[in-house]
Chain A
């Protein structure tokens, strides 16, 4: 509750939080089918219509309602972003915690492997993974989570190392607390703040990467809709039908902006040391 109040009283937290909330509602509505039209229905007579009262954001080349497709697409992008960041967070936390706790050879081996993964530019690594498994929604999830796992591993390992050396961990050990208890209670709970910040910012990157992959035709496959795919389709039609470009472009931008603003606010609130970075 305190954190919600803090977000609300932080200017960029308020705006970012509001944007994210609206998107979540839109994504939910899109997911359960509460769209003005069927996103796959082709109203052939109404092809390439500019925004009207029945098609608020116009129609595309096949006469499909842009707004319905956009809502579905937002749901799609958010699904990919949430699952991939959740996986990366889980994997990164487990790897980072064990690296810090066991140290020694395991730590060296693991961190070297993470260095190797970090030596690839993100989009390139994602491309490689997509090519191996074949394009699709869950491939994007896998690719994006693999790309971001090393970052989470590092974010967890550093602070975990210094926490491990703290007196209260020694005390817990002397009391005979189990390893799992110390790892989850004493280390993980203290890492929640930096992780929350990282998760929020990673969601923004994941949305960006998902949009990029589907823009290149390697993410969500047609006829399903995704924001990147809609933009890619709009490329050849943008002079006749600028609404095909405008709405998805604004939708992508605002979603990333929302998470960036929220992440900044959370960093200010939870992590005063790196404020204003």
Chain B
């Protein structure tokens, strides 16, 4: 279990490193957050008003003090106050997070339900025209940026059917699941396309490897029906790399799909970060980036642990 322990021990260190980088990075951005918040009205502030605002948002202190305050605040869930929203940062993040989580889950669901069968289908027809077709489709899918997919979908809908995806007013899933799904399905498909392509490619190659293994030959020579060989004997082992890939992709998606959220005007985490960066909302950017990095690291850790659990060679050998 030494591998697992080593992974767990590195976790807080990396997290502290991330927090320091985020903290410094956002302060290197030219311009100050009070001017960015108030725009031209900032010029109307007296120096005293400016100072008291700076004290209120805690940006009057030297960097190390600010960092220490922020860092100790993290443990009590206090990430500071967002200058743009006038609300606690954690509240703002948690308002946006459900959408991002739902989008990531839907995209993964789409990717797996297309990618795994397609990969198995191609692997069992190795080097035949059907296999070639799947591979070409997957290659094209992997090479198409999500915003191209998104724009093409919107174009087909608007030019072909005269409808536009609903934008702006977003309905959370707990208010009206059907309407919510209607709003989420296109962005999810957009994100799912490239994701499904990589799942297809990895499933196919893993299946090909497994299908040439001795135990599969044994199963076949025992007279096990081919269908059972593929789905019961081969697929579970071939899924190990698919788990890794899906986990990593899912972790990325939890960071908010900035571009897709931008195209479909979805109020998710990614777009919030983009806006916060442009507004120089220090506290919000810091909090959100840390939150995203934490999610990403947790998912990666879980993937590594799952991988170690599935494959005893990693667990025992360590890295």
Residues of A within 8 A of B (CB): 12, 112-113, 115-117, 119-124, 127-129, 131-132, 134, 204, 208, 211-212, 215-216, 228, 231, 234-235, 238-239, 242, 245, 249, 252-254, 256-257, 260-261, 264, 276-277
Closest residue of B by beta carbon distance from A158: B319
* Interface residue? B8 (CB, 8 A): no
Chain A residue nearest in CB terms to B152: A249
Among A127, A231, A260, contact of B147 (Cβ-Cβ < 8 Å): A231
- Given known contacts A121-B255, A234-B151, A252-B148, A115 and B10 CB-to-CB distance under 8 angstroms: yes
- A238-B274 CB under 8 A given contacts A121-B292, A131-B29, A132-B25: no
Q: Decide if A134 touches B155 in the complex (CB within 8 Å).
A: no
Contact indicator B258/A120 (Cβ below 8 Å): no
Q: Which of B151, B259, B262, B277 is the one whose CB lies under 8 Å from A249?
A: B151
Q: Which residues of B contact A117 (CB under 8 A)?
A: 21
User: Nearest 7 CB-CB pairs, A to B?
Assistant: A116-B17, A121-B255, A257-B143, A276-B205, A256-B143, A132-B28, A119-B293
Contact sample, A vs B, 19 pairs, CB 8 Å cutoff:
A119-B15, A119-B18, A120-B292, A121-B296, A124-B256, A127-B277, A128-B26, A129-B25, A131-B29, A132-B25, A132-B29, A216-B262, A231-B151, A235-B151, A249-B151, A249-B152, A254-B143, A276-B209, A277-B205
> Contacts A132-B29, A215-B259 known; A115 to B14 CB distance under 8 Å?
yes
Mark contacts of B248-261 with chain A using CB atoms, 8 A cut-off: 1 yes-contact digit, 0 otherwise: 00011001101100
Residues of chain B within 8 A of A256, CB atoms compared? 143-145
Of residues 1 to 50 in B, which have CB atoms within 8 Å of A's CB atoms? 10, 13-15, 17-18, 21-22, 25-26, 28-30
Give chain B's interface secondary structure class.
helix
CB < 8 Å: which of A112, A122, A123 contacts B17?
A: A112
Task: Indicate whether B289 reaches chain A with its CB closer than 8 angstroms.
Answer: yes
User: Does A128 contact B25, Cβ atoms closer than 8 Å?
Assistant: yes
Q: Is B297 an interface residue (CB 8 A)?
A: yes
Q: How far is the CA of A228 from the CA of B262 in the complex (A)?
A: 14
> By the criterion CB–CB under 8 Å, are B25 and A212 in contact?
no
In the complex, which range does the number of interface residues on chain B fall in? Answer: 35 or more
Note all chain A residues with C-beta closer than 8 A to B169. Answer: none
| Interface Cβ pair total, 8 Å cutoff | 126
Tell me whether B238 is interfacial, beta carbon within 8 Å. no
Q: List residues of chain A with CB within 8 A of the CB of B29.
A: 131-132
Distance of A67 Cα from B226 Cα, bound (Å): 53
Q: Does B278 contact A (CB under 8 A)?
A: yes
Chain B residues closer than 8 Å to A234, beta-carbon distance: 151
B contact residues around A127 at 8 Å (CB): 258, 273-274, 277
Report yes or no: B151 in contact with A123, Cβ–Cβ below 8 A.
no
Q: For A264, give the chain B residue with the smallest CB separation.
A: B139
Collect the chain A residues with CB atoms within 8 Å of residue B14's CB.
112, 115-116, 119
Whether the Cβ atoms of B151 and A212 lie closer than 8 Å is no
B208 within 8 A of A: yes
> Please, which residues of chain A bring their CB within 8 A of the CB of B152?
245, 249
B297→A253 contact, CB < 8 A? no
B140 at the interface (CB under 8 A from A): yes
Q: In the docked arrangement, what's the CA distance between A134 and B278, Å?
A: 11
B21 touches A116 (CB 8 A): yes
- In contact, A239 and B262 (Cβ under 8 angstroms): no
Closest chain A CB from B8 CB (angstroms): 13
Residue B158 CB within 8 A of the other chain: yes
- Expressed in whole angstroms, the minimum distance between the Cβ of B182 and any Cβ of chain A is 21
B142 at the interface (CB under 8 A from A): yes
Closest to B300 in A: A119
A128 with B155, Cβ < 8 A, contacts A119-B297, A216-B259 known: no
